[in-house]
Amino acid sequence: MRTPRSLSLSVTGVFHKMWRAHNRECVFAQDAEKYNYLNALFDTYTENFRKNIQVHGYCLMGTHTHEVGRVLPKINKKRGLKQAVKLLGNWMRNAHSRFGMGYNRRHGRQGKVAYDRPRTTEIKNEYEVLKTMFYCDANPVRAGIVYHPSNYKHSSYRFYAFGERNKYTAHLTPPQAYLGCGKTAAARRKKYRRLCDLYLRQQSLIDDCPDETVDTPRCTSDFEGLLYAIRIRGRPLRS
């Protein structure tokens, strides 16, 4: 029996969500379907949901999607976390139903599109948020689709690494850990690129840096040290 989200997200409210297609079908194989999913996700991200849920990042693969975000229980002073988590479930249900019905209509099919309800794993503290975002960014590299996350257009990597904006990233709220990467937007982007490359190298996913990140040191042991430095630079992390 799956643990209710009100319990599984009871400490920090920061989540890593994964939604997998039924039978691992490649429902997101086409770019158009990835955009259809993002449209469904953010078209249903109404003002009430935005007040209670932040979305930090996303990455869409052929058979599944990743999103990182958090619920904001302090907004709901009367009901707190339970109400915020309920709103998260309502939002995901609305978005996934819209995408699923549209997908069946477009492809002349019936039945389930998703394997099950989304899996939402709690991120234990904000120190781990960037690591989770790097894990999501690395998915297309891990799958052999691209050499580097900067070459993949269906994730939030280029928003954080280069400041590129589109109608989907306009809905993102940078996490506290990202804001702790530097005092200016340029400094934060540079540190994000540097840390992500170190993560990729730590995971043996790349051997060299792309041209945009030639300043990245080759020592993979620097990764944890740099994350920790972000944590202690004077901006407290919220857990």
pLDDT exceeds cutoff 70 at 1: no
Residue 46 belongs to domain with CATH number: 3.30.70.1290
- Which of 95, 124, 153 corresponds to the end of one domain? 124
Summarised one tens digit per residue, pLDDT across range 91-133 is: 999 999 999 999 999 999 888 888 777 788 888 877 789 999 9
pLDDT score of 140: 97
Residue at which a domain ends, from 94, 109, 124: 124
Q: Residue 202: what pLDDT?
A: 86
Overall number of domains in the chain: 2
135 and 203 in one domain? yes
Q: What confidence tens digit (pLDDT) does each residue in 6-54 have?
A: 555 657 788 999 998 888 889 999 999 999 999 999 999 999 999 999 9
In a shared domain, residues 118 and 55: yes
Does 222 have pLDDT greater than 50? yes
Residue predicted with more confidence, 159 or 238: 159
Q: Is there a single domain that holds both residue 180 and residue 112? A: no
Residues 63 and 151 in one domain: no
| Whether 33 and 142 share a structural domain | no
Q: Are 75 and 152 in a shared domain?
A: no
Query: In 10 A of CB 217, how many CB atoms?
Result: 14
Q: Residue 121 pairs with which residues in a beta bridge?
A: 16
Determine the pLDDT at residue 228: 63
Say what the alpha-carbon torsion angle 147, 151, 152, 156 is, to the nearest 10 degrees.
Answer: 120
Q: Which of 107, 124, 141 is the last residue of a domain?
A: 124
pLDDT tens digit string along 43-92? 999 999 999 999 999 999 999 999 999 998 765 554 577 788 888 989 99
What pLDDT score does 234 carry? 39
Same domain, 113 and 217: no
Residues 18 and 79 in one domain: yes
Identify the pLDDT of residue 84: 83
Q: Are residues 162 and 232 in the same domain?
A: yes
**Are 165 and 203 found together in one domain?**
yes
Dump pLDDT digits (tens) for 172-208.
999 988 998 889 999 999 999 999 998 998 888 987 6
Higher-pLDDT residue of 142 and 5 is 142
147 in the same domain as 119: no
pLDDT for 231: 57
Alpha-helical segments (H) within the chain: 5-8, 31-43, 47-52, 80-107, 129-137, 139-142, 157-162, 176-179, 185-202, 222-232
List for the chain the helix, strand, coil content (%; round to 5).
Answer: 50, 15, 35
The answer on 137 and 69 residing in a single domain is: no
β-sheet with 14-20: strand ranges across:
53-60, 64-71, 14-20, 119-122
**Residues of the domain holding 183:** 126-239
Instruction: Look at residue 24 in the predicted model and tell me its pLDDT.
Output: 82
Q: Is the pLDDT assigned to residue 217 strictly greater than 90?
A: no
85 in Cβ contact with 5 (< 8 Å):
yes
